């Protein structure tokens, strides 16, 4: 398998993120939640000791960004898993059984598709209180519709293919047909949607953090770092710059990986992208 | 055609009923008592029970839902707990600011996407196309709240007396509209590129070219109309999404639109206002869906004939 340039770059970027998250305590020059700068109350500019400067509480921005990779990646990937799990389950059931099950599930999908994702996520997180678990469940709850539609469409066509019909004729039960015959054939699509979906869940999580609905402090999170920095956008512009770049880097990494794969396979259209 | 229209309308009404059920159930997820929220924690039991019966909270849930639905159909979305004002009026007050921002951003996004899409299709698989692909991916990957913040920083550093927030004249519109438009433009440009390159390989384009039409001529005369058509659907729905409140952009630029209203409502756990803004958003999207479907069927008559959908 030869990766194209986009895939290679994306993969490299994702690996670098994972390494930063795993080895954060080893890489980060300072403690991310302790005041380490001599200046207190005002952000400090980038310097030799603090390459990306320090924030209003005297904490090292670089160390906070490195540790921030942990929460962002964890939430982004776990929320994607929740998204895919819900979407695949609903899509498989609707596509395989058809009839009234399909009708009910797809009309439910239509309704969920109509609700504004960010507003709904904000309302649910605010009501359930922001915690790591609540946030990734809520993100999953508002983003599964695209996956469900695509998986349903693929299941629908697979269920009529000869090998499935043959297995059914030989008496294979529905559960076995779905798990052994249909799911493996939908898997490539699911993986692509998962990779591209991660950029979406990362952005949604960062947005929630920016609005104050992210993982609660003192855990460093990129979105909240940008939000806290907006107060100082005149006096300390670098403070908002770097954590935002980190979000951008992470989102771009997954987009490059996903779209790069699609391009190599000669498909410039993402599965599930409307039209 | 008429059958198609009727089917789409019934579908829209059904979806709205479904969304109203979900927004209604939001109220029951919230811990705490609406009566206490209105009267304050120190209110005596008599006042509380009076408020409950006034709000109909002592009725069975399905009665409460049907009343809520009945009022919503008449345009009455209840009263805000915190602001003590009619929710519908609060939403309509904020709507113009969001409308101007959303429409400006959408027009900007489509113009940019058209430029990028046509350019990248014209140079398909060459350096320009690759560069534009990278630009699109970059625009798609930018967190909108950060892009807005960076624009604020840039404007504050370079332009004196430039409006940096609030809704005050057309100049205050530039930064938030651009912030919103860039991400959409990147997305649309990719879609347009795909549709254009596919359309250019179709037989009708090949025929036109074999009769001597230039590549660019074929693109503008034949391929573009077919490539833009699917974008109508997407842009229509996205516009409705933007109209229902662009929370992040409005927060960054302190824009007095529906997004800010929803944000405040959520932070105050002002349930009627939360329900109102979510339902309003759903309503806009259902209407946009309907308009887009009908527009599409009108532009491409094959759609309405397809009974399968």
**pLDDT tens digits for B18-73?**
888 888 887 776 666 666 666 666 777 777 777 777 777 777 777 778 887 888 77
Q: Is it the case that residue A86 has pLDDT exceeding 90?
A: yes
The rounded mean pLDDT for chain B is 82
Domain count, chain A: 1
Cβ separation A126–B266 shorter than 8 A: yes
- On whether any CB of chain A is under 8 Å from the CB of B138, the answer is yes
Residue ranges covered by each domain of chain B = 93-299
Structure-block tokens of residue A261: 């794969």
Alpha-carbon span A21 to A27, nearest angstrom: 9
Q: What is the pLDDT of residue B31?
A: 63
Residue A173, domain member (yes or no): yes
Alpha-carbon span A205 to A76, nearest angstrom: 7
Q: What is the pLDDT of residue A87?
A: 93
Cβ separation A123–B281 shorter than 8 A: no
Q: What is the pLDDT of residue B308?
A: 44
Alpha-carbon span B198 to B204, nearest angstrom: 12
**Residues of chain A contacting B156 with CB distance shorter than 8 Å:** 233-234
Looking at per-residue pLDDT, the higher value among B228 and B301 belongs to B228
Q: What is the pLDDT of residue B309?
A: 42
Closest Cα of chain B to A170: distance in Å? 31
Q: Which B residues 232-251 touch A at CB under 8 Å?
A: 233-234, 237, 241, 244-245, 247-248, 251
Closest Cα of chain A to B197: distance in Å? 10
- On whether any CB of chain A is under 8 Å from the CB of B153, the answer is yes
Residue A274, domain member (yes or no): no
Does the domain spanning B93-299 belong to CATH 3.20.20.70? Answer: no
Residue A204, domain member (yes or no): yes
Number of Cβ within a 10 Å radius of residue A5? 11
- Residue to mutate among B145, B229, B286, B303, with most A CBs inside 10 A, is B145
Residue A30, domain member (yes or no): no
User: Which domain does A129 fall in, by range?
Assistant: 5-18+59-266
Cβ separation B156–A223 shorter than 8 A: no
Alpha-carbon span B63 to B50, nearest angstrom: 18
CATH code, domain carrying A256: 1.10.3720.10
Alpha-carbon span A180 to A95, nearest angstrom: 15
Residue A27, domain member (yes or no): no
As a whole number, mean pLDDT of residues A201-225 equals 88
Question: Each residue of A240-272: pLDDT tens digit?
Answer: 889 999 999 999 999 999 888 888 876 655 554
Residue A66, domain member (yes or no): yes
Closest Cα of chain A to B138: distance in Å? 7
Residue A52, domain member (yes or no): no
Q: How far out from the chain centre does Cα B302 lie? A: 27
As a whole number, mean pLDDT of residues A188-214 equals 90
Q: Which B residues 24-83 touch A at CB under 8 Å?
A: 26, 29-31
Question: Each residue of B249-292: pLDDT tens digit?
Answer: 998 888 888 989 989 888 888 888 888 888 888 888 888 888 88
Q: Is it the case that residue B78 has pLDDT exceeding 90?
A: no
Closest CA to B173 of B104, B77, B220: B104
**Residues of chain B contacting A230 with CB distance shorter than 8 Å:** 149, 152, 252
**Residues of chain B contacting A259 with CB distance shorter than 8 Å:** 133, 137
Q: Which pLDDT band, with edges at 50, 70 and 90, does B147 fall under?
A: very high
């Amino acid at each position: 398998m030869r990766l194209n340039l986009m895939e290679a770059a994306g993969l490299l970027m994702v690996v670098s993120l994972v390494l930063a998250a795993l080895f954060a305590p080893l890489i980060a020059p300072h403690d991310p939640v302790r005041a380490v700068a001599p200046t207190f109350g005002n952000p400090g500019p980038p310097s030799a000791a603090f390459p990306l400067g320090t924030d209003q509480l005297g904490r090292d921005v670089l160390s906070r960004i490195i540790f921030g990779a942990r929460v962002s990646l964890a939430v982004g990937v776990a929320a994607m898993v929740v998204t895919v799990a819900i979407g695949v389950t609903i899509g498989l059931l609707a596509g395989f059984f058809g009839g009234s099950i399909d009708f009910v599930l797809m009309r439910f999908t239509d309704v969920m598709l109509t609700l504004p994702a960010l507003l709904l996520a904000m309302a649910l997180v605010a009501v359930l209180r922001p915690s790591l678990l609540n946030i990734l469940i809520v993100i999953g709850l508002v983003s599964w519709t695209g996956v469900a539609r695509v998986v349903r469409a693929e299941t629908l066509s697979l269920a009529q293919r000869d090998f499935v019909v043959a297995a059914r004729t030989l008496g294979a039960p529905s559960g076995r047909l779905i798990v052994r015959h249909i799911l493996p054939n939908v898997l490539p699509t699911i993986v692509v949607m998962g990779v591209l979906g991660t950029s979406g869940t990362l952005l949604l999580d960062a947005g929630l953090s920016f609005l104050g609905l992210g993982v609660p402090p003192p855990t460093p999170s990129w979105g909240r770092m940008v939000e806290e920095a907006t107060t100082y956008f005149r006096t300390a512009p670098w403070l908002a710059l770097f954590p935002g770049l980190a979000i951008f880097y992470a989102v771009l990494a997954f987009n490059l990986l996903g779209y790069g794969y699609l391009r190599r396979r000669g498909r410039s259209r993402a599965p599930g992208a409307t039209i | 055609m008429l059958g198609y229209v009727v089917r789409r309308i019934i579908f829209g009404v059904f979806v709205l009923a479904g969304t109203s059920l979900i927004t209604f159930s939001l109220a029951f997820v919230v811990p705490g008592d609406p009566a206490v929220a209105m009267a304050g924690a120190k209110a005596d039991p008599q006042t509380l029970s009076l408020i409950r019966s006034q709000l109909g909270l002592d009725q069975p849930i399905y009665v409460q839902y049907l009343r809520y639905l009945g009022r919503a159909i008449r345009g009455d979305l209840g009263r805000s707990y915190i602001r003590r004002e009619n929710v519908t009026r609060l939403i309509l007050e904020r709507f113009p600011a969001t409308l101007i921002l959303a429409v400006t951003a959408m027009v900007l996004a489509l113009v940019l996407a058209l430029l990028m899409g046509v350019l990248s299709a014209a140079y398909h698989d060459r350096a320009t196309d690759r560069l534009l692909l990278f630009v699109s991916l970059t625009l798609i990957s930018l967190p909108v709240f950060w892009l807005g913040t960076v624009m604020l920083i840039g404007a504050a550093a370079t332009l004196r007396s430039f409006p940096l927030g609030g809704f005050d004249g057309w100049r205050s519109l530039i930064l938030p509209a651009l912030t919103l438009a860039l991400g959409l433009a990147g997305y649309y440009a990719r879609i347009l590129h795909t549709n254009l390159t596919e359309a250019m390989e179709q037989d009708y384009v090949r025929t036109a070219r074999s009769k001597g039409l230039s590549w660019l001529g074929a693109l503008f005369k034949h391929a573009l109309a077919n490539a833009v058509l699917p974008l109508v659907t997407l842009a229509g729905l996205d516009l409705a999404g933007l109209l229902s409140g662009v929370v992040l952009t409005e927060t960054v630029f302190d824009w007095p639109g529906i997004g800010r209203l929803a944000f405040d409502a959520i932070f105050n756990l002002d349930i009627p206002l939360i329900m109102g803004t979510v339902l309003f958003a759903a309503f806009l999207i259902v209407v946009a869906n309907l308009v887009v479907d009908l527009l599409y069927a009108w532009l491409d008559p094959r759609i309405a004939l397809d009974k399968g959908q």
